[in-house]
Amino acid sequence: MLIYGVALLSVCMVVGLTVGEYLGRWLGVDANVGGVGIAMLLLVASCSSSRMSSLVNGPAGEGIRFWSAMYIPIVVAMAARQNIFAAIQSGALAIAAGTAAVVVCFALVPVICRLGGAPRDASGKR
């Protein structure tokens, strides 16, 4: 029953975008401020809510879990696309700062892996 997942996602998206628009107006910015993020938080909160437990645990739970899992990567991809366009229009300094941030994050991956410990294989060895 993916349709309930889509319905919940769309309600969260409409509410989040509306709140983001009003937040932008309140702050004096001519843009939607955090509407997609607000929608994502609403989706997570509604799936964790006790009022929605019958819907989440019922036959529609698969659809809601599917769309909840798909929503975060979609939001990240949308934000990354907007940031790239903004960086290209802003000039060389913005592009250099973005490139430096990506390089530092890639360089920190081995450090984070060492902090978390090496994964064990099936025999229990590292």
Could you count the other beta carbons within 10 Å of the beta carbon of residue 67?
21
What is the number of structural domains in the chain?
A: 1
Whether 20 is in a domain gets the answer yes
The percent of residues above 90 in pLDDT, for the chain, comes to 4
Whether 123 is in a domain gets the answer no
Whether 46 is in a domain gets the answer yes
Q: Sorting pLDDT into bands at 50, 70 and 90, what band is 9? A: confident
Question: Strand ranges (DSSP E) for 70-121?
Answer: none
Q: Answer yes or no: are the C-beta atoms of 21 and 35 closer than 8 Å.
A: yes
Whether 110 is in a domain gets the answer no
Whether 126 is in a domain gets the answer no
pLDDT at 74 over 70: yes
Which stretch of 21-35, 58-72, 100-114 has the lowest confidence by average pLDDT? 58-72
Please, what is the Cα angle at 88 between 32 and 20, to 5 degrees? Answer: 5
Question: Which of 33, 38, 31, 30 has the alpha carbon at shortest distance from 14?
Answer: 38
The percent of residues above 70 in pLDDT, for the chain, comes to 63
The residue with greater pLDDT, 107 or 124, is 107
So what's the pLDDT on residue 103? Answer: 92
Domain containing residue 78:
2-90
Please, what is the Cα angle at 78 between 100 and 56, to 5 degrees? Answer: 125
